[in-house]
Amino acid sequence: MDLTIKDVLQLFKEQAMLLSAGSAGMNNPVKSVNIMDAPDIGDWAKAGDLILTTAYTIKDDINLQEQLIRALHARGCAGLGIKTKRFLQEIPSTIQTLANELGFPLLELPLSLSFAEIINPIICSIASRQSYLLQRSNEIHKTLTDVAINGGGLNAIVTNLGKLTQCPAGCFDINGQLINHWLPDNLPGYDSNTIHALEHLLLTPEIPNNILQKKLSRTKNPYTHTITIEGASYQSISCAIMSSNEFFGHITIIQPDNNFTDIKLVALEHACTVAALDFLKQKAIAENRKLHSRDMLEYILFGNPKEQNTADIITNSKLAQAKRYKCLVIETETTATEVNWPILSAQLCKISQQIIAETFPLSLISERAGKIIALIAAMCNFNTEQDLYNKLHQALDKSFENLTVSIGIGTQESDIMSARRSFHVALTSLNIGRATKGAGHIVQPYEIACYHILSDPEATVVLSKICQPIIAKLEQLDKNTESEFLKTLERYLESDKNLTETAKELYIHRNTLSNRLDRIVDLTGLDLENRELLFCLRLALRQRKILPMVHT
């Protein structure tokens, strides 16, 4: 959109204004025009200035001429116009050579034109372009602001940005994940293969989004880079979505050529401003929902239901409309050394909310005592929730490096006042599941029901007296001989005495397993055909897994 040296030459093509040297700078933007009347102009010239001179003050000093060229180039000036046939008959070859080396345009001004006759058309052209830019900027701002006011959201913002610029556009969140994108149906002068190539560049950028976002959040300026594919150049420009130094993500548009105009940059910056407002709105909604979920869960799971106020709040809530309730308790751990747990916890809560609310919109999710608690509310029986648990587990597991996610599932309840029972079962499932299976599993109530009974030492005194001598003897033999008799017996019983399955789980040959079992019989006198005794042993070995948790 800026006026360039090339445009200036076009303005005066009838008056024979010529480019003497520095053709590499033909696209230098011309922001203003100034007249040189002293050789030290390099000290106060501005970037984008086109300097005009008769060269009177430097006509006899080649060193001053070269110093002037270097100084103006260093200041970022657009170029230097010299009026010849007066004090200099022609532009010296030494500074022409220097200008070519620097890519700094030298213009030969016609003697027939006064400086005013040169300056006025250039200033008028600059003003005209700036006026157009301002008008278009206002139109763009109004269009995008209307989108935000009417609740169009990020999809509408990106779509309108793409249509205003006629460039592929994409919006990415703080994690670099694509939120949405827009692609034109066609671009004048470009075939469908080119459009698909542009879409590919947008969705799989050469610079990874996490690296790009670090650059954007650090500099807070648009980031531009040129990509070449099969000989064609494409320009990608990205702008941060920020508000009060809070970074929400970025928007990228891709220009099919290097002719990236100011008005497109204005549109991109306006879109990022409006997108920041939308992110702030979504943040406020999420925060409000988070507080509501926290307060409601406190009433439902931890409040005193006998208090009239608590009972009224629970029964009058939207959650009471549901027919079935089930609690999840989620616990995470990581081997990473530097973890901001408050931020990570908020992120995990957000992921859980998004996934669960897709299927069960009435559900509540909150964080308490380092665990995420979800009260799932459904309008009918739970039938396909296992897919939800798996999806939730996978999403949380991938959200942070080296993160281990454990989920305890509660029982299904038909009364909201009984939801706390589901919560306590979910918590028990989580704790016993971690003790028996280890971290990183989804544990259902039926998987831990037996262990829950065994966790009462007083109720299992007889069981311990019957089985402990056998277990203790095998445990001591394993310790003295570095054998695996106890593990072998445990897997054999858990596999319902299936030799093939047990051998597979222990990674040994079936004959080796048979020999070990014979050895166990010889050492303990155990009767492997006594089903009742084997059942007791199976229970005792399960109890042994949870003894540390019981003692704790």
Instruction: Give residue-wise pLDDT tens across range 241-264.
Output: 888 778 888 888 887 665 556 778
Percentage of residues in the chain with pLDDT exceeding 90?
20
pLDDT of residue 258: 54
Better-scored residue on pLDDT, 216 or 69:
69
Task: Judge residue 222's burial from the number of C-beta atoms within 10 Å of its C-beta, 0-12 exposed, 13-18 middle, 19 or more buried.
Answer: middle
Q: How far is CA 198 from CA 126, 174, 225, 342, 497, in A?
A: 32, 23, 14, 39, 61
In this prediction, residue 454 carries a pLDDT of 76
Rg (CA), the chain: 38
Measured between its terminal Cα atoms, the distance across the chain in Å is: 72
State the Cα–Cα distance between residues 303 and 307, nearest whole angstrom.
8
- The pLDDT assigned to 189 comes to 62
pLDDT tens digits, residue range 414-435? 888 888 899 999 999 999 888 8
What does the pLDDT look like over 446-493, one tens digit per residue?
888 887 777 777 767 777 788 888 888 898 888 888 889 999 998 999
501 three-class SS: helix
The larger pLDDT score, comparing residue 136 to residue 260, is at 136
Rounded Cα distance, 199 and 182, in Å: 9
**What distance in Å separates the CA atoms of residue 488 and residue 508, rounded to the nearest whole number?**
10
**pLDDT, averaged across the chain:** 84
| pLDDT, tens digit (0-9, with 9 covering 90-100), for 368-378 | 888 999 999 88
Q: Mean pLDDT over residues 306-314, rounded?
A: 80
**pTM (predicted TM-score):** 0.53
DSSP assignment, residue 301? Answer: I
Taking alpha carbons only, the member of 452, 463, 391, 402 closest to residue 426 is: 452
pLDDT-derived band of residue 188, with 50, 70 and 90 as boundaries?
low
Segment (H or E) for 144: helix 115-149
Of 154, 153, 174, give the one whose Cα is nearest residue 351: 174
Given this model, what pLDDT does residue 50 score? 93
pLDDT for 212:
77
